[in-house]
Amino acid sequence: MAKTNAGILGTGHSYPEGILTNADLEKIVDTSDEWITTRTGIKQRRKAAPNEYTSQFAVRASCEAIERAELKAADIDLILCATVTPDQILPSTACLIQAQLGANNAAAMDIVAACSGFLYGLALADPMIRAGQSKYALVIGAEILTRYVDYTDRGTCVLFGDGAGAAVLGPVEEGRGILAAKICSDGRYEEQLYARGGGTKGGFSAETIARGDHFFKMKGNELFKVAVRSMTDISREVLDQAGLKTEDVSLFIPHQANQRITDAVANKLDVDNSIVYSNIAMHGNTSSASIPIGLDECVEAGRVHDGDVILMASFGGGVTWGGAVMRW
Ligand SMILES: CC(C)(COP(=O)(O)OP(=O)(O)OC[C@H]1O[C@@H](n2cnc3c(N)ncnc32)[C@H](O)[C@@H]1OP(=O)(O)O)[C@@H](O)C(=O)NCCC(=O)NCCS
């Protein structure tokens, strides 16, 4: 029997309408458009309205991805939703998405791996499909990060935005689809990005809320160094595993955290800027959503062609990191 690989059959993305510009932030925190632009590359980010929630954007992105894969929701047998900003603690956002899609034949669960969540999903769906355990998997990255951002902390509030991206994976012929994927973690760096409130350790009470324990806290410049190192190393590793070199890459979609991180990784890998995707100016850091949104924007813009080699790399709170290389 011919071997199969797992490949992406369709992609989609969705954003809230609301926009928060650097000029808006200048009015609420001690920052400037000049600082944000030069230190991060961000000009604006999307911000969900108070009555909007994560699964709404995930469902819109998923419907698009399923339609482009020319499938029906009932064909999906696995839903992996990467998010650190779920609709609610229980049930998983993946289950809420499963119900809204009417994906009645799917197992569903969330992945909590922060900004690496989408690549965690790809790396898990890949062997499931190759082994015949799953035929069509829906992998989603969806976040409403602005809900967990402290708008008095200028070190974090300028960075994060909201959105969702999705991809449908299914069997493709050998030599195409995901050629190599790897995911990693090192929990010793947990202090670099965390939100303690609301869990069984940090607890939740009027006091924890008043203290802002539920907001993200971050050691930005320490994370910066880990990000550059881990994304560079994992990119080299997956390319090596696939028997490819950076010269073979047609498109590099790194996690969108900071333009300076993207530039440093691209520089270390020695890939030309023309093949590096960046949408950070428009959307900031959307965590697990950033890579699938980037991929879908590239598909829509006609930047992805049959046979192209696409490299993706991410890092995030945990810390976690991951890489994947695929042939379109
Ligand atoms: C957060 C980040 C943009 C900060 O940039 P940086 O160049 O490292 O800046 P530093 O944290 O060293 O701060 C430099 C100065 O700018 C100030 N500063 C920080 N945020 C600022 C803001 N929004 N506006 C103006 N000044 C700011 C700091 O207070 C500090 O001032 P000081 O020198 O008087 O103490 C950067 O470290 C980063 O992107 N890190 C990675 C974060 C990340 O990706 N997190 C998500 C994980 S997926």
CA dihedral 257, 166, 15, 316 (to 10 degrees): -20
Contact 62 CB / ligand 1 (< 6 Å): no
CB atoms within 10 A of CB 25: 21
What is the best residue among 224, 230, 265 to mutate for testing ligand 1's pocket, by most ligand atoms within 8 Å of CB? Answer: 224
Per DSSP, 250 falls in state: S
Contacting residues for 314 by C-beta, under 8 A, at least 6 apart:
115, 116, 118, 119, 231, 254, 255, 290, 291, 321, 322, 323
Contacting residues for 187 by C-beta, under 8 A, at least 6 apart:
318, 319
Active site residues: 115, 255, 285
> Does the predicted TM-score (pTM) go above 0.85?
yes
Contact 316 CB / ligand 1 (< 6 Å): yes
Measuring CA to CA, which residue among 68, 131, 75, 132 is closest to residue 101? 75
Tens of pLDDT along the chain (328 residues) come to 567 899 999 999 999 999 999 999 999 999 999 999 999 999 999 999 999 999 999 999 999 999 999 999 999 999 999 999 999 999 999 999 999 999 999 999 999 999 999 999 999 999 999 999 999 999 999 999 999 999 999 999 999 999 999 999 999 999 999 999 999 999 999 999 999 998 999 899 999 999 999 999 999 999 999 999 999 999 999 999 999 999 999 999 999 999 999 999 999 999 999 999 999 999 999 999 999 999 999 999 999 999 999 999 999 999 999 999 999 9
CA geometry: angle at 255 spanning 128 and 232, to 5°? Answer: 90
